[in-house]
Amino acid sequence: KAGVTQTPRYLIKTRGQQVTLSCSPISGHRSVSWYQQTPGQGLQFLFEYFSETQRNKGNFPGRFSGRQFSNSRSEMNVSTLELGDSALYLCASSLGSASSYNEQFFGPGTRLTVL
């Protein structure tokens, strides 16, 4: 089975711009979660989508949004980028809900740099 794929792998943007990141989960997985990883804050949960519905949301401002399509692929959007948004954004898929006993399978991440 192919693993979780994320595109693009690297992205450089300037403050005020917006960005869209894409994630394709493992075939058959219905849950897609997004995380922000930074050296200072560690791994922070952004949101989870399950069968096209947002199931859980972390403590991030409304500039961070996402969606999931019928084929389980997911996109994450960040509007009005700030310098502090520079991070590795990880996508993870799981067979069932991430807030349960299901292990997650992570993609390689998208490294976002905001200048």
Partner 1 sequence: AQSVAQPEDQVNVAEGNPLTVKCTYSVSGNPYLFWYVQYPNRGLQFLLKYITGDNLVKGSYGFEAEFNKSQTSFHLKKPSALVSDSALYFCAVSRSSGGSYIPTFGRGTSLIVHP
Provide DSSP, 58-86.
-S--TTEEEEE-TTS-EEEEE-S--GGG-
Total residues binding partner 1 (CB under 8 A): 23
Considering only 32, 81, 87, 98, the residue that binds partner 1 (CB under 8 A) is: 98
Site for partner 1 contains 60 (CB under 8 A): no
Polymer length in residues for the chain: 115
SS3 100: coil
Stretch that binds partner 1, among 14-22, 43-51, 61-69, 74-82 (CB under 8 A): 43-51
- Surface-to-core class of residue 49, CB atoms within 10 Å of its CB (0-12 exposed, 13-18 middle, 19+ buried): buried
Q: Which is nearer to partner 1, 44 or 80 (CB)?
A: 44
Among 13, 22, 58, 86, binds partner 1 (CB under 8 A): 58
Q: How far is the CB of 74 from partner 1 (least distance, A)?
A: 15
CB 107 within 8 A of CB 23: yes
Contact 34, 109 (CB under 8 A): no
Tell me if 76 contacts partner 1 by CB under 8 A: no
Q: Where on the chain is the footprint of partner 1 (CB under 8 A)?
A: 4, 33, 35, 42-43, 45, 48, 55-56, 58, 90, 92, 98-101, 103-109
